[in-house]
Amino acid sequence: MGSSTESTQSRKEVETQSDGVRPFSGAATWWIARLPNNSECSVVEHCCGRGRPHSRAFTSKPLSYLFFAVLSLLATHSFAEISVTNRPFAGVAIFFESRTNPPTRLFVAEIDLANPRVRLRVSAGGDDPDGPGQWQTTLMQPTRIALREKFDLVVNGDFFLARGVNDAEGTNSGFRADIWSKVSGAAVTDGKVWSTSTNARPCLVVGKDGAVNIEMVSAPGTSMSAVISGNTMLVKSGVVVPHENKVRHPRTAVGLDEQHKRLVLLVVDGRKPGVARGMSYDELAEEMLRLGCRNAFNLDGGGSSVMAVRDKFAGTMKILNTPTDGRERAVANVLGVTVE
């Protein structure tokens, strides 16, 4: 992954593999680092006496520690290109890329929908605060929702309104937990429709038969088990959908390959001059196309953009990107992935 214009000498790449992926007999986990001088250093955990040449054996640190430690290290160092790969759960691969020209930081989760252990679910924040009133849920941080629902991976969801709150970033952001809110598009959780919209919007739809599609939805049907909405299509039938809006922001996007067997979740950092400038809709679309998406759409972005993964050893959720509020923003709903 990464720009093809960068030379091998200016690239640093780290790959980690874990349970269910055995790179060689006798090793439980491993990571490999390709350094700027193209030399290679490998580290093997729990290798039971069998490892790669020139490798060091560790028996105390779990893979998740290595991944998050390496990710943190790379985030504080400048290279022309950095890529990190981790496979924390069966059917889930996570990629991190940092580029300098232009300054870009992105996080990709690829979900193998053909894996029978993988489950997708949409979850709201808190309970409906006013019954038949206009508000549908209360805001909650995605990692709190993920812990409650036992998600292994989570990203923020639909655009939303919050009672008495105007959109703002950083310390001025008023999006806090427990504020009454409502999403902008359709939403379904466990077959229950809890939001509709006047106009059809792009949605990720999980059918009760397990099929996963991207459809334009306003009023979800009875065959839908989970629905989460965005605001605009990015890629349609393998072609970038052009947008007049060229403003760059932090972004969250979701896409499917042609066979509907691979789900792509992308979070792009932004509003960090010299480090991460964010992406326009067109740039985001090109990225989703590069990642193999036949169809893709945009979820809520800005300070809401977040991707977090469960550390299965510590039992906590780790945020991978850097939210622009300086903290995790409370949102109205999320898309969660569970590996049973």
* 68 dihedral zone (left: phi>0; alpha: psi -120 to 50; beta): alpha
pLDDT of residue 67: 61
Q: Which of 68, 89, 110 is the last residue of a domain?
A: 89
Number of structural domains, the chain? 2
**Pair 167, 238 in one domain:** yes
| Inside any domain, residue 100 | no
- Look at residue 7 and tell me whether its pLDDT is greater than 90: no
**Distance from C-alpha of 144 to C-alpha of 283, rounded to nearest angstrom:** 31
**Pair 72, 135 in one domain:** no
Residue 324, token pair as written in the block: 């622009």
Place of tokens 């992954």: 1
What number is the average pLDDT over the span 235-263?
A: 98
| Inside any domain, residue 99 | no
**Pair 312, 243 in one domain:** yes
Across the strands, what pairs with 308?
A: 154, 319
pLDDT: which is higher, 8 or 284: 284
| Inside any domain, residue 107 | no
**Pair 74, 184 in one domain:** no
- Side-chain-side CA neighbours of 123 within 13 Å: the count stands at 23
| Inside any domain, residue 239 | yes
Residue 181, token pair as written in the block: 């809110």
pLDDT in tens, 196-231: 999 999 999 999 999 999 999 999 999 999 999 999
**Pair 70, 174 in one domain:** no
**Distance from C-alpha of 323 to C-alpha of 305, rounded to nearest angstrom:** 6
Cβ(229)–Cβ(158) under 8 Å? yes
| Inside any domain, residue 68 | yes
pLDDT in tens, 86-134: 899 999 999 999 999 999 999 999 999 999 999 999 999 999 999 999 9
| Inside any domain, residue 3 | no
Strands 232-236 and 239-240 turn out to be: antiparallel
pLDDT: which is higher, 72 or 263: 263
pLDDT of residue 66: 56
Burial 209-238 (b: 16+ CB within 10 A, else e): eeebebbebeebeeebbbbbbbbebbbeee
What number is the average pLDDT over the span 324-331?
A: 95
pLDDT of residue 194: 98
pLDDT of residue 73: 57
| Inside any domain, residue 246 | yes
- Look at residue 37 and tell me whether its pLDDT is greater than 60: no
**Distance from C-alpha of 219 to C-alpha of 229, rounded to nearest angstrom:** 11
**Pair 198, 290 in one domain:** yes
- Look at residue 19 and tell me whether its pLDDT is greater than 80: no
- Look at residue 40 and tell me whether its pLDDT is greater than 50: no
- How confident is residue 75, by pLDDT bands cut at 50, 70 and 90? low
**Pair 78, 207 in one domain:** no
**Pair 158, 212 in one domain:** yes
Q: Domain range for residue 39?
A: 8-89
- How confident is residue 39, by pLDDT bands cut at 50, 70 and 90? very low
**Pair 203, 74 in one domain:** no
**Pair 176, 76 in one domain:** no
Closest CA to 156 of 174, 135, 183, 127: 183
What number is the average pLDDT over the span 291-296?
A: 98
* 45 dihedral zone (left: phi>0; alpha: psi -120 to 50; beta): beta
**Pair 83, 122 in one domain:** no
pLDDT in tens, 153-192: 999 999 999 999 987 777 778 999 999 999 999 999 999 9
The fraction of the chain above a pLDDT of 70, given in percent, is 75
| Inside any domain, residue 106 | no
pLDDT of residue 76: 53
**Pair 252, 334 in one domain:** yes
- How confident is residue 64, by pLDDT bands cut at 50, 70 and 90? low
- How confident is residue 33, by pLDDT bands cut at 50, 70 and 90? very low
